Each structure stands twice: as structure tokens, then as C-alpha cells.
């Protein structure tokens, strides 16, 4: 049975940060896909971070101060609905299992919230995240205000609960790191399978199917984002979604795919030759991106600034673009004028966690923040060369990205996706070898 001690600990930490007041954190609604078919349900990341509770129609209330309390609102048991949709915990079992002080029926929210809010100095909430919740929360506040003559006061201080939660989520605890390691391992295996399954004549969607199968077979509930499986020129479309083309000998295949396991994302990109051998030009570009990625990873360590890995990648790539005749030197001019952006137009990474582009500020007081142990980020430089005047034709339609997931450790960093092959020799020994 899952241990919910980390969630109890996170709730305590949020209460300590709040000092006084009440936090209201609802989960995500179920969403219709078409007519009466739903999208597969995915909980809200903040709510799940604090509770581990997986059902829709649920909300957490945390009261801070001298008498801290945690209240979970969730669906009542309902034998009729459970016959169709499966088990619901119901408040009684949920209280026990998820370690909250109280649990109540979700249907009691409107009745109970005004009383809970009365006399609280502050409300911590995520304004603007969901218009329906905004209306409902304002309704509760107005109901408390309407009782002013009975001496009740509504919170005068409305704060964004995400400020504290984003900062907490930025530092992964041991249980989160353990899940993320396993997610990384599953995604690594999926990439290995995809490399083995690649050969001329196969299609992008066959490789996509291979990845999704590998995720689910290993117990991951979802892809963390829809996989990008981009052959040839498609690799130069940064958010390519079609995954519908045939794979051709002589072209590269760029695969950006990661699973979501127990709420946590992994995010890996590898690029390999469809026919199993890099051409001389592909090799030059690939080695350049790999060198940029290695330089960026070497800049991930406590005390280094968020933008240092990006700066390292840009410098390596820009020098390469000059050497290959893609940009005109000198190097400093290419960097300062951002001429390199013709071939490298995105940033080198992002925080990773419950969301693939995870919560957490990148700057503090206007400065790029320093990396600290427990932070998890991606390092993902690339090079995308579209047909254009002045660009030597042999480079056209070459797209390469290499992406790993990196944990900041006390002594430097650990690449948790390191077992996904990325050297040319390793890749060439795997592609097409089913
Ligand atoms: N797969 C999304 C990203 O790399 O940011
Ligand atoms: Mn990424
Ligand atoms: Mn990615």
C-alpha cells in the first residue's frame, strides 16, 4: 500500500509557510472530449502533490495557525455509480488512507466553506486557474461578508497559494526522486525499443505505437506529453504532432518521448539515423549537439545560475556553426547578435516534475536563480536546419535534439536518463536490431 507520509509532510510545510489562514486547493475537473466521451482523467498537480488522492471532484482545505487542520472533500460512496465507474474511496476510507484530519462529502463544500472561511485572516487559493472555481470561491466570500452584522469577517488577504507550492515543488523529496528515476528508466527502455524498431519503410506512427506500448506495459499511466516522432524534415518542426510520415533511408529520426508515472514526468529526446548509419554531415551536426549537451550538463551544479547550461550550449553550438560555415564569425558576434537562433531557437531546458514543464520560478529578484540540490531539470540543446538561402544545401532538413533529465546533487549533478544511449557508436549498434 502506498505510503502517504510525504504528502502529510508537504501539507505541514505549506501550513508552516502560510503561518495563518486557510488554503483551498481543488483538483482538476473531468473534461469531455466529444459528446459523452471523457478525456482520460488526470488530477491537478498541486492537489495531488499535497494529497496523493486520485479521484475527480475533490478539494483540500488546509488551515494554518495554532490549531492546524487538514480537510479533504471527496465524492461519497455510491453503489450505483461504482457499478459503472469503479470504486470511490468515500470520505471515511479517504480520511484513514490519506492521513487527513477530516474528510467530508464533496457535495458539502458550499455549505461548509463560508463557515470555514469566517474569521480566517487570509485565503490561499489559485485565482484565475479555473473560472468556475473563481465564481464559487467569490460566492463563499460574499456569503461570509453578508454576515458582517453577526460579527463574522471574511479573509481580507487573498493570496496565490501557488507562490509557496511552486517553490516547494521545485525541490524534489526522496519519494519524488524515486518515482522520477523509475519513470526515467521506463522512458529509456522505450527509446531503446524505438531505436531497435526503426528501419526504412516503417512509419513515424509505428514508432509512436512502440513508445506508447513500452510506457503502458511498464505501468506508466500516460505519456507525459504526446511523443514527437519526426523523420527527416519533420525534425525541424519543433512541436511536430502528426507522426504520420514514412521513414526513409538516409534521414534522421528525432524522437521526443517520456512517460508519466504516478503523476511524474520524464522527458527524453534522442535522434538516430533511420537506416542505422549517420552520414558524414549528420555526424557533424550530431556530434556538435552532443558536445553542446555535454557542456551544458557540466554546468549543472549547486551555485551555478539557471542560465549557465543554456549559455554553455549556445557557446558550443555557435562555435560549431562558425566552423561549419553556417554562421559568420567571430564567435562573440554570433552570440551577441543571436545569429545562432537561425538554427537553435529554443532554450536549453526547463524544470521537470509533476508537470513536464514543471512549476517553479526561474528568476529570483530579477536574477536567474542559483541551482540547488533536489532541483530536477532537462538539458536539451538542438540544431534545426531548414532550407534557406545562404545555408549550404548538404545541411538542409537536418534536425537533431538530445535531451536528458538531470538532478542537481550536493556535489554536482546526476543524469537520471543516462542509460538512454547517445554516443554515435552505441546508437549505430542498436538501430534496426530487433
Ligand atoms: N517534450 C517537451 C519538451 O521537451 O519540452
Ligand atoms: Mn523538455
Ligand atoms: Mn522533450
Domains with residue ranges and CATH for the chain: 5-167 (3.40.350.10), 171-430 (3.90.230.10)
Show Cβ contacts of residue 360 under 8 Å, excluding neighbours closer than 6 positions.
166, 167, 169, 170, 351, 353, 375
Show Cβ contacts of residue 416 under 8 Å, excluding neighbours closer than 6 positions.
180, 181, 184, 376, 404, 405, 406, 407
pLDDT interval class at 3 (50, 70, 90): confident
Q: What is the mean pLDDT of residues 233-247?
A: 97
Hey, whose CA ends up nearest to atom 4 of ligand 1? 267
pLDDT at 433: 97
Q: Which ligand 1 atom sits closest to the C-alpha of 258?
A: 1
pLDDT at 125: 98
pLDDT at 1: 72
Residues classed as catalytic:
36, 239, 256, 267, 346, 350, 357, 380, 384, 401, 403
Q: Which ligand 1 atom sits closest to the C-alpha of 269?
A: 4
pLDDT interval class at 286 (50, 70, 90): very high
Q: What is the C-alpha to C-alpha distance for residues 34 and 240, in angstroms, rounded to an integer?
A: 24
Show Cβ contacts of residue 81 under 8 Å, excluding neighbours closer than 6 positions.
88
Cell of 369: 536563480
pLDDT interval class at 380 (50, 70, 90): very high
Residue pair 53/88 in contact by the 8 Å Cβ criterion: no
- Average per-residue pLDDT in the chain? 97
pLDDT at 70: 98
Residue pair 247/276 in contact by the 8 Å Cβ criterion: no
pLDDT at 338: 98
pLDDT interval class at 119 (50, 70, 90): confident
Q: What's the pTM?
A: 0.97
Where on the phi/psi map is residue 276: left (φ > 0), alpha (ψ -120 to 50), or beta?
A: left
pLDDT at 63: 98
pLDDT at 206: 98
Q: What is the C-alpha to C-alpha distance for residues 284 and 274, in angstroms, rounded to an integer?
A: 17
pLDDT interval class at 134 (50, 70, 90): very high
Closest by Cα among 388, 404, 392, 251 to 321: 392
Q: What is the pLDDT of residues 293-348, one digit of tens each?
A: 999 999 999 999 999 999 999 999 999 999 999 999 999 999 999 999 999 999 99
CA of 350 from ligand 2 middle (Å) equals: 6
Query: Between 286 and 19, where is the model more confident?
Result: 286
pLDDT interval class at 242 (50, 70, 90): very high
Please state the length of the chain. 434
pLDDT at 213: 98
Burial class of residue 360 in the structure, from the number of CB atoms within 10 Å of its CB (0-12 exposed, 13-18 middle, 19+ buried): buried
Whether residue 151 is predicted with pLDDT greater than 90 in this model: the reply is no
Q: Which residues have beta carbons under 5 A from ligand 2 (an ion)?
A: 267, 378
Hey, whose CA ends up nearest to atom 3 of ligand 1? 267
3-state SS assignment for residue 322:
helix
CA of 267 from ligand 3 middle (Å) equals: 5
Whether residue 9 is predicted with pLDDT greater than 80 in this model: the reply is yes
Q: What is the mean pLDDT of residues 343-371?
A: 98
Cβ count within 10 A of residue 318: 27
Q: What is the mean pLDDT of residues 36-58?
A: 97
Cβ count within 10 A of residue 131: 8
Hey, whose CA ends up nearest to atom 5 of ligand 1? 357
pLDDT at 355: 98
Amino acid at each position: 500500500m502506498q505510503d502517504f507520509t510525504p504528502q502529510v509532510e508537504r501539507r505541514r510545510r505549506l501550513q508552516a509557510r502560510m503561518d495563518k489562514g486557510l488554503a483551498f486547493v481543488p483538483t482538476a475537473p473531468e473534461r469531455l472530449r466529444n459528446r459523452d466521451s471523457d478525456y482520460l482523467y488526470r488530477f491537478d498537480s498541486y492537489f495531488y502533490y499535497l494529497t496523493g488522492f486520485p479521484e475527480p471532484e475533490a478539494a483540500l482545505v488546509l488551515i494554518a495557525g495554532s490549531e492546524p487542520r487538514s480537510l479533504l472533500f471527496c465524492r461519497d460512496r455510491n453503489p450505483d455509480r461504482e457499478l459503472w465507474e469503479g470504486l470511490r474511496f468515500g470520505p471515511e476510507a479517504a480520511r484513514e488512507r490519506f492521513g487527513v484530519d477530516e474528510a467530508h462529502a464533496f457535495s458539502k463544500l458550499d455549505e461548509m466553506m463560508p463557515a470555514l472561511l469566517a474569521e480566517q485572516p487570509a485565503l490561499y487559493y489559485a485565482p484565475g486557474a479555473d473560472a468556475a472555481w473563481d465564481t464559487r470561491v467569490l460566492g463563499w466570500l460574499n456569503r461570509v461578508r453578508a454576515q458582517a452584522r453577526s460579527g463574522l469577517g471574511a479573509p481580507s488577504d487573498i493570496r496565490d497559494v501557488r507562490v509557496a507550492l511552486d517553490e516547494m515543488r521545485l525541490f524534489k523529496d526522496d519519494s519524488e526522486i524515486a518515482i522520477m528515476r523509475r519513470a526515467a528508466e521506463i522512458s529509456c527502455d522505450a527509446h531503446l525499443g524505438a531505436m531497435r524498431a526503426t528501419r526504412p519503410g516503417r512509419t513515424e506512427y509505428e514508432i509512436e505505437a512502440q513508445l506508447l506500448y513500452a510506457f503502458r506495459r511498464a505501468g506508466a499511466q500516460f505519456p507525459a506529453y504526446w511523443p514527437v516522432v519526426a523523420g527527416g524534415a519533420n525534425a525541424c518542426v519543433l512541436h511536430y504532432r502528426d507522426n504520420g510520415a514514412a521513414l526513409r533511408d538516409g534521414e534522421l529520426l528525432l524522437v521526443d518521448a517520456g512517460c508519466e508515472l504516478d503523476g511524474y514526468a520524464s522527458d527524453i529526446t534522442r535522434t538516430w539515423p533511420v537506416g542505422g548509419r549517420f552520414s558524414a554531415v549528420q555526424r557533424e551536426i550530431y556530434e556538435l549537439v552532443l558536445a553542446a549537451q555535454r557542456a551544458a550538463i557540466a554546468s549543472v551544479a549547486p551555485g551555478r545560475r539557471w542560465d549557465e547550461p543554456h549559455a554553455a550550449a549556445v557557446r558550443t553550438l555557435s562555435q560549431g556553426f562558425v566552423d561549419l560555415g553556417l554562421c559568420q564569425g567571430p564567435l562573440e558576434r554570433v552570440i551577441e547578435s543571436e545569429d545562432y537562433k537561425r538554427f537553435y531557437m529554443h532554450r536549453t531546458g526547463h524544470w521537470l516534475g509533476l508537470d513536464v514543464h514543471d512549476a517553479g520560478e526561474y528568476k529570483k529578484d530579477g536574477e536567474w536563480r542559483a541551482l540547488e540540490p533536489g532541483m530536477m531539470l532537462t538539458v536539451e540543446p538542438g540544431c534545426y536546419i531548414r532550407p534557406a538561402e545562404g545555408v549550404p544545401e548538404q545541411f538542409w532538413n537536418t534536425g537533431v535534439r538530445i535531451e536528458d533529465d538531470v538532478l542537481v546533487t550536493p556535489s554536482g549533478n546526476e543524469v537520471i536518463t543516462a542509460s538512454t544511449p547517445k554516443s554515435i557508436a552505441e546508437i549505430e549498434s542498436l538501430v534496426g536490431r530487433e
